[in-house]
A and B are shown apart, each in its own frame.
Chain A
């Protein structure tokens, strides 16, 4: 009974409560209410509270220069989020090493405030020798986890810990039409362990529909063969409804996207698109490209899920690793101070 918000397929599927609660305790008694109590009002209370505090979302885009990353981000958020590197001195702009640039904006839609941080990675994959070009990126992601961890273990900690952790890393695959390149595989293999990786086929307007389908199949096979699990990961499906929904998404990964931030007139409507001599590619037309699917995944339906998986899975495994490698904070108030060895034996 949601307040008239547009229902996405995921919401419709979720309308029926799941059969077995997550932590079913047979000792708990299930009781029937004789009449209306007002418990469901807690949903509205929650909604009001979250609207007041606002949301944070941190997106990272990775890919070689010229694949349309900045345009894509601008198209996603329908505003000039990223500055596109254009101009006569563009050649000099390619950095010698991978640098990370973050830009933060506050955007608002229908009363919902969101603090959006987009991290760009110019220089990735642009050198002759690209060995270890993923290291600065991994370092950055881990630094954000570290920041959060330090805030979390303070004695007097903030009510709302600022969240700079990367919630999603969109990886741009060049539209070669053949296979994933060694750089792509190496990068995705390493990063899918610590962050949600969403691979996309960039500049997909150079592929025909058949070529696109073939390319996708090969990429999916490649990913499977190398044991790379991209978002949405199979292991983290909450329930059967989720799995059905996510399987549909997994069939279509990686999305073939085209970015555009100019509007054109098509059939009397103004649409975002790329104008070419042979036609206008409508970015938001599902028949032309899969940009709507990417937008739906990242923003409209799975944004909260991306954040939850980052917090509950990736951050937690970073934390486990950190606490195990240093005696950072290992104590159990009842047993007093324990060394990490003693605690490990208790676990």
Chain B
């Protein structure tokens, strides 16, 4: 996959120039941690989504043989703007797994012009019966197959919004028109939804259904991203989990920033001296060793505020489903251990300092 290749490239770029840096500061495990952090392989999301991406081709073949008429034009390319991250936004995957009768394609909201297609579509919709549509469907799916395979395999940059809006009585269309449509499919801004059998076919309900499908597709992605949401069914509970997750992440940021605040003064002194002109990745290796210089002062500070934080820590670890809960717990434990070690050594001084600080505040 392109993006994976891109990540490997960047990773190699990061490690090679850092080799010299690491050698220079070998004794500092800090740099190793940072390098490991930065050059760590992508999260597991990438693997799961790329595995899911293999589905489209096979699913299309499956759907070809289904008795119901399904025209599947898969919009595979994720939206460039909206998403980044370890996953390729395979908005089609959730939809492919849907009922074969119901062909809804998830594309990204885009304002490209599709005027040429709409008249085609309306003419297509106006006539012919379902049987003819069935016959035309497989032909269209066949012609759509090469298009499908290409985008899934090659390029994530192309925005493809392929949704076909077809009322039940759709016409039998000429091959040329369908091919045109498929080629223009990349520029479709409209959301096209097929009406299910026995369901209302007015535009409002169709649009509503399209919107709901869009939302459901994205909710599925969210479920996969947030740990522990896979088994939960029901939008409200999933939203609950998501809210908890976001809140816990925000609280972690707050807490970590407070923790870093105690360390801060040392950072300032050394950053200025070592902040050489940015050379991309080498800067990371060059700067962080500076932070490692002896930090006697912060230990004393942290003790004073330990009690305030402990409640929050315990609440976080026990109550909320935290992302990476295990490692968070470990971090809390190590922090407490380090604090305890400092505690024994400088207890009286710590309390004195803490009192002084509180009075200052």
A and B: real partners? no
